[in-house]
Structure 1
Amino acid sequence: MLQKLVEQNRRHFEGQREAFRAIARDIIGNAQEQLATALKLEPAAFAQVPDDTLDRLLSASHAAKALEEIPGTQINITFTSELTVNGVSVPHGDSE
């Protein structure tokens, strides 16, 4: 009985993860297309976001949802980015 419950939970989580990945890839792909158009670049020049990065976003959203149940909790989410070209980091515009 417990093993069935664990397996059902695992399948449910995997389904959520796959759905989240698909939605996130669609949103990211659209943003990359718009950015490519604005910068006059080929959309294929953008790398795909790795699954582990999307999985960390999903985990963070689950943690945030659990934390919102605690009265007085304030949640701040900060996104950072790094630009690389052929694996070489490109400094931010404010760097000299």
Structure 2
Amino acid sequence: MTSTTTPLLIGGLGGMELLIILAVLLLLFGASKLPELARGSGQALRIFKSETKGLMDDDKSATKDEAEPKHVAAPADVAVDPIIVETPRGQDASRG
């Protein structure tokens, strides 16, 4: 006994179910509105996809910034000018 099954297209929906859904949409919206609905849905999906990609890129760059240690200046890297203290003329430094 062999059984013939139709492949499931979308989430458990077969070909006949999709045709019924398409017929109901055609009756509700009319033939002229269906392309506009499809175009609007496509644009919304593109925007959603680009926004989620942007969020994932932000997450990747945030984790990359946290992973890389920030450069801290070592004492040898810091240029220090010598401090020159001059005493006024005529005064002895030992007198206080």
Shorter-chain TM-score bucket reads 0.3 to 0.5
More helix by share: 1
* Greater relative CO (CA pairs within 8 A, separation 6+): 1
Computing the radius of gyration over CA atoms, which structure comes out larger, 1 or 2? 2
> TM-score, normalised on structure 1?
0.34
> TM-score, normalised on structure 2?
0.34
More strand by share: 1
